[in-house]
Amino acid sequence: MNTLDDIRALVAALAQAPLPEDPEASLFEAGVIDSFGVMDLVAQLEARFALKVPDEDMLPRKFESLSKIAAYVASRKA
């Protein structure tokens, strides 16, 4: 499983609606996650990928789509 697949599985477990097929699609606009759900998602990302998301990065736009989440995780792991 690659990072995007791992993230898709994490988001699916927290999802309030079906995940969009397009990894660029907004998870907020699709109703998959809301701003409160970002907190749960970040906690899951931190546990799964052994990273720490600083408070200043807790912005919904950083976690808007599967591809943005994957890029963020990659940048924090580097």
Question: Which CATH number goes with the domain that contains 72?
Answer: 1.10.1200.10
Using pLDDT thresholds of 50, 70 and 90, give the confidence band for residue 4. very high
Lookup result for tokens 């097929």 = 21
Mean pLDDT of 36-46: 94
The domain containing residue 20 runs over which residues?
Answer: 3-77
User: What distance in Å separates the CA atoms of residue 34 and residue 64, rounded to the nearest whole number?
Assistant: 10
User: Could you give the residue ranges of the DSSP H alpha helices within the chain?
Assistant: 3-14, 35-49, 66-77
What is the overall mean pLDDT for the chain? Answer: 94
What are 16-35's pLDDT values in tens digits? Answer: 999 999 999 999 999 999 98
Q: Are 28 and 34 in contact (CB under 8 A)?
A: yes
Q: How many domains does the chain divide into?
A: 1
